[in-house]
Amino acid sequence: MTVQKPSIPKGTRDFPPGEMVRRNYIFDTVRSVFELYGYQPIETPAMENLSTLLGKYGEEGDRLLFKILNSGNYLKNTSHLSPVTIHDSQFTIHDLTQQIAEKGLRYDLTVPLARFVVQHQHELSFPFKRYQIQPVWRADRPQKGRYREFSQCDVDVIGSNSLLNEVELVQIIDDVFCRLKVPVVINLNHRKILSGIAESIGAADKLTDITMAIDKLEKVGLEKVNAELASRGLSKTAITKLQPVLELQGKIKEKKQFLEEFFSHSEVGKQGIEEICTVMKCLKELNIKNKFEFDARLARGLNYYTGTIIEIMALDTDIGSLCAGGRYDDLTGVFGLPGFSGVGISFGADRIYDVMMNLKLFPETLQSTTRVLFVNFGFEEERFCLKLISSIREAGIPAEIYPEAVKLKKQLDYANRKQIPFVVLAGKDEMAAGKVTLKNMETGEQETIPTINLTDQLR
């Protein structure tokens, strides 16, 4: 066989042990909080039918789906393909794609959830509180901090219109980031407030344009947003009317007062204000530890939220959004189950990882799994050690023996590289005395103790 230089597809990553342990720390924390709030796990296949995925993420999303070639030997089995397409000079690969690819890799966890809920509706109890932690794939241009395979941790409630769910989701966000010690600010808005704004400036038909433009406010500044609004066809009058909203600052009370006036002719705007204030009021009573704010300008790129919009920004770094979500009415309608509202949030594990690395927030104790390495001095010593190791493992202490009787230095190097805190040395003398020498790899200290005390010493 020819030798190949090993590599992986661009935008994907290997996770070596050190990273795995830290990533699992995030996943375990998130999972334990989800379960504390009564959410149950599900998983869905990596591959979905393209009919499930296409048209759900906009034109851009369709383009970014990874498509899977139908399996089987289509060389020998082309009868199901349209011969016109294949032999026609007007042949396009796009036509072919539609015929040879029926499956795609999941692009997020929300569309699979909607599909799952409809497909399993008779087995589920509603409101259905589920969480899902799985990778998703997007054929995005890879860049710093953006990958083609990355993990999402989603938590959603399906089939309940109560705002209590929004409150609970903010509690979950607060709890997760407190446990991870990541400082964040939780921003809240409501789609109906955005609708109210569009209505109140006389541009109800331009809601999408407005949200897409003001979503960039933080990034590009007021001037460029106004320029974009103009280029998207908003009248001068509308843009002028919008200015106080773009510059809206202050406490929730002041914002509320301003918007109630601003929405004097917008019922939908008033509804939005009322809902967001209900959520904020309940949160105030609940001892939320992170800062949470109502931000009337928060729009989010995705245009499918119909209720509350939630975004969590990392403080002290420029990494940005760590977690986002909101409410969408009629989540499952497209799959044949109308009238089911969904509200949920998605934690971006990779972004959270980057923030925690930047701010050095991972506990130092995460580093190694093995607690003790037994040095291998040869056949007889090996046999003596194997029995000791069994009893240590029975006590739940991770232990290993170096598999070969190589030079002591090499074995100790192995322990150091793997950050194993203790090493046991048991040569013929120790064996005869029923003892072992226990070496602390950090301090270098060592003492000879009876084998019977070893497990206790290692605890």
Report the site for a copy of itself in 340-369 (rule: CB under 8 A): 369
- Burial of residue 279 (CB within 10 Å: 0-12, 13-18, 19+) is buried
Q: Are 312 and 199 in contact (CB under 8 A)?
A: no
Q: Of 232-240, 348-356, 370-378, 422-430, which segment contacts a copy of itself by CB under 8 A?
A: 370-378
**Strand-strand pairing, 291-294 and 184-190:** parallel
Residue 422 touching a copy of itself (CB under 8 A): no
Residue selected from 201, 296, 323, 401 as contacting a copy of itself according to rule CB under 8 A: 401
In three-state secondary structure terms, 211 is helix
Q: Of 113, 108, 151, 106, which Cα lies nearest the Cα of 130?
A: 113
Residue selected from 25, 57, 66, 263 as contacting a copy of itself according to rule CB under 8 A: 66
CB 310 to a copy of itself: min, Å: 17
Radius of gyration of the chain (CA): 29
Residue selected from 61, 85, 98, 161 as contacting a copy of itself according to rule CB under 8 A: 161
Range 213-242, binding a copy of itself (CB under 8 A): none
The nearer residue to a copy of itself, 189 or 341, going by C-beta atoms, is 341
CB 247 to a copy of itself: min, Å: 35
CB 377 to a copy of itself: min, Å: 13
Residue 98 main-chain phi, psi, to 5 deg:
-60, -25
The nearer residue to a copy of itself, 258 or 335, going by C-beta atoms, is 335
Query: 198: which 2 tokens?
Result: 């569009």
Q: Are 351 and 359 in contact (CB under 8 A)?
A: no
Q: DSSP string spanning 91-156?
A: --HHHHHHHHEEEEE---SHHHHHHHHHHTTTTPPSSEEEEEEEEEE--PPPBTTB-SEEEEEEEE
The nearer residue to a copy of itself, 241 or 418, going by C-beta atoms, is 418
The nearer residue to a copy of itself, 238 or 349, going by C-beta atoms, is 349
Range 67-126, binding a copy of itself (CB under 8 A): 67-69, 71-75, 78, 81, 86-87, 89, 91-94, 96-97, 100-103, 105, 115-116, 118-120, 123-126
Q: Of 208-216, 224-232, 306-314, 410-418, which segment contacts a copy of itself by CB under 8 A?
A: 410-418
CB 250 to a copy of itself: min, Å: 27
Q: What is the DSSP letter of 65?
A: P
Residue 59 touching a copy of itself (CB under 8 A): no
Residue 47 touching a copy of itself (CB under 8 A): yes
Query: 187: which 2 tokens?
Result: 């921003």
The nearer residue to a copy of itself, 160 or 437, going by C-beta atoms, is 160
Q: Of 186-194, 209-217, 401-409, 451-459, which segment contacts a copy of itself by CB under 8 A?
A: 401-409
Range 281-300, binding a copy of itself (CB under 8 A): 282, 285-287
Q: DSSP string spanning 318-356?
A: S--EEEEEEEETTTTGGGT-TT--EEEEEEEHHHHHHHH
| Bridge partners, 424 (sequence order) | 374, 438
CB 208 to a copy of itself: min, Å: 17
Q: Of 88, 112, 87, 86, which Cα lies nearest the Cα of 99?
A: 86
